[in-house]
Structure 1
Amino acid sequence: MTPRLRVRALIAVALFSLVGLADAADPKTLRVGVRGGTDEQIWEVVTQVAKKNGLNVQPVVISGAASPNEALNNGDLEANSFQHIPFLRDQIKQRGYKLAAVGDTYISPIAFYSKKYKAIKDLPDGAKVAIPNDPSNQTRALVVLRDAGLFTLRDGFDPYTGTASLADVTGYKKKINLIESASVVLARSLEDVDTAAIVNTFAYQAGLIATRDGIAVEKREHNPYVNIIVVREQDKNAPWVAPLVKAYQSEEVRQFIQKQFGGSVVPVF
């Protein structure tokens, strides 16, 4: 079996077990691909809101090697909701998908945490500042430090179209030592540095919440790392798209996110 057929087979299994053959074949049912966990929980609420407005939505949890973007591109789903714009951009570039973002959902903000300082402005000269070593999260961390006024980034940098690295840091306003490390390590390294940028997943596991414990937190405004609802390009103006986005961007969903996740996941609508 080719990789493409294998992925489609995995999607078919998911659709059969979670949607059922009747729903999968029913064009009145909007099948939305999600990952388990946060998105699965939120879409259970979205489904209830949509139903009250006459829209039949069926979340399809896709796990393992199966790709929600592959499934969507192939027409096995009507929409998906699990990714941010840079991830979608890279997928389109690498695989040629014809997909489009149609609505914002939430952000799981990256933040800097410290056991020594209460604010990023309190960092002394020579402070050890740990950041992730993967391109996406390193970019996010550097943008947070830039926005906090610690340095500037090269002219022309735009997180919507590219990533940033240490080579792009210019104009230090404070002498700090940037240290790269794997995201999985950073949450366990707070004792060894003055501050560290920790992605939401590992921060939450360590009992840290960005909006409560972060000394510098990623902004949600004008941020490409906000998660999105995605459909095929040919469907972006379909009559069901706006009601689907409206169901997600409802007060019921906002309140659920705020109550359920306590600031580790932040609605952006």
Structure 2
Amino acid sequence: MKKLSLLLSAVLLTVGLTGCAGEKSQSTGAKNEVEKAKKEIVVGATPVPHKEILEKAAEVLKKDGYTLTIKEFSDYQIPNTALAEKELDANFFQHVPFLNKSIEEKNLDLTYTVKVHIEPMGLYSKKIKDLKELKNGAEIAIPNDPTNGGRALRVLENAGLIKLKSGELVTKLDITENKKGLKITELDAPQLPRVLGDVDAAVINTNFAVEAGLNPTKDAIVIESKDSPYANILAVRKEDKDKDYIKALSKALTSQEVKKFIEEKYKGSIVPAF
């Protein structure tokens, strides 16, 4: 009887384990099927040029059976949080250093799949047409977020207006030489085109410049080199990087159709990074 009892217990245990394994396998299989069945991709983006580029990519995605829903943001801080909290499947608005800084500061489990385009940053003004006209003590506005602020300062340094310490994430406290005594004012990036009449000049991200009707190749007094390392990327959650719909979106954003669209629409003010 004792042996029979032990034998029955072993059989029941085996059946129980097999059942659990079967349930787990079915659960994993169901999850994979859901992922394969996902045909709507929700992406957060700033208006120009990111939303416009995504709208072109949507035409490519449609051929593969996917629909693209674009959620528009005018803020640089919200899209990464929204992505991490699964309100979005991906976002498209930022360059690599900005994403890395957000990951570090907010402990986000994000990464990126492809580099899509480069937006050369430029110095704009309504008061002067040439750097030689910039007076001592002139006020120059720059973005107030760390990565774009540092990048803007490098634009001013390359123009010969200031000198900075070495390093990627420099601030105005890292200015080592400022012969003209320029006043550097930090503001939210979207506000910069609107304050052009109040300051002597402003270093503006191309997306906000284009949105405000400025042409970087014609209107910028100084423009960042086209070999800038600040490529704009498609950001995703690490856990989703290899999913079919993310691969499809990445492929569409780096397609020949999108490349041609960028080259023809923006005529050199925004350039493909692929």
Which TM-score band (shorter chain)? Answer: 0.5 to 0.7
Aligned to 1:130: 140
Q: Which amino acid aligns with 2:138?
A: K
Aligned to 2:262: 257
Task: Deviation per CA, 1:17-48: give whole Å up to 9, x if none.
Answer: xxxxxxx8654536241236333332232132
| Number of positions where the alignment pairs a residue of Structure 1 with one of Structure 2 | 237
1:34 to 15, 27, 44: 44
Q: Which has the larger radius of gyration?
A: 2
Question: Which moved further from structure 2: 93-102 or 26-35?
Answer: 26-35
Q: After TM superposition, where is structure 1 displaced by more than 6 Å over at least 4 residues in a row?
A: none
1:98 to 96, 109, 124: 109
Aligned to 2:234: 229
Q: Which amino acid aligns with 1:233?
A: K
Counterpart Cα distance in 2 of 1:68 and 1:216: 29
Identity %: 34
2:92 to 81, 84, 91: 81
Task: Deviation per CA, 1:135-157: give whole Å up to 9, x if none.
Answer: 344322201012223333213x1
Counterpart Cα distance in 2 of 1:203 and 1:115: 13
Cα 1:68–1:113 shift into 2, 3 Å? closer
Counterpart Cα distance in 1 of 2:198 and 2:154: 23
TM-score (norm 2): 0.67
Secondary structure at 1:150 match in 2: coil
CA contact (8 A) 1:62 1:68 kept: no
CA contact (8 A) 1:33 1:68 kept: no
Q: Which amino acid aligns with 1:167?
A: L
Q: Which amino acid aligns with 1:130?
A: I
Counterpart Cα distance in 2 of 1:47 and 1:185: 29
1:164 to 153, 164, 170: 170
Aligned to 2:273: 268
Q: Which amino acid aligns with 2:112?
A: A
Question: Which moved further from structure 2: 71-80 or 30-39?
Answer: 71-80
Matches within 5 A, 1:63-78: 63=72, 68-70=79-81, 72-73=83-84, 78=89
1:44 to 51, 55, 60: 55
Counterpart Cα distance in 2 of 1:202 and 1:67: 17
Aligned to 1:21: none
CA contact (8 A) 2:120 2:228 kept: no
CA contact (8 A) 1:130 1:186 kept: no
Counterpart Cα distance in 1 of 2:117 and 2:135: 35
Cα 1:209–1:57 shift into 2, 3 Å? same
Cα 1:182–1:100 shift into 2, 3 Å? closer
Runs of at least 5 residues in structure 2 that lack an aligned partner in the other structure:
1-33
Secondary structure at 1:230 match in 2: strand
1:209 and 2:218 correspond: no
Cα 1:237–1:205 shift into 2, 3 Å? closer
Cα 1:205–1:56 shift into 2, 3 Å? closer
Secondary structure at 2:151 match in 1: helix
Question: Which moved further from structure 2: 70-79 or 248-257?
Answer: 70-79
Q: Which amino acid aligns with 1:31?
A: I
Q: Which amino acid aligns with 2:176?
A: T
1:111 and 2:111 correspond: no
Kindly state the Cα deviation for residue 189 of structure 1 after the two structures are TM-superposed: 5.2
Aligned to 2:150: 139
Secondary structure at 2:161 match in 1: coil
CA contact (8 A) 1:131 1:141 kept: no
CA contact (8 A) 2:35 2:243 kept: no
1:245 to 239, 242, 250: 250
Higher helix residue share: 2
TM-score (norm 1): 0.68
1:219 to 211, 225, 230: 225
C-alpha RMSD of the superposition: 3.7
Aligned to 1:17: none
CA contact (8 A) 1:209 1:263 kept: no
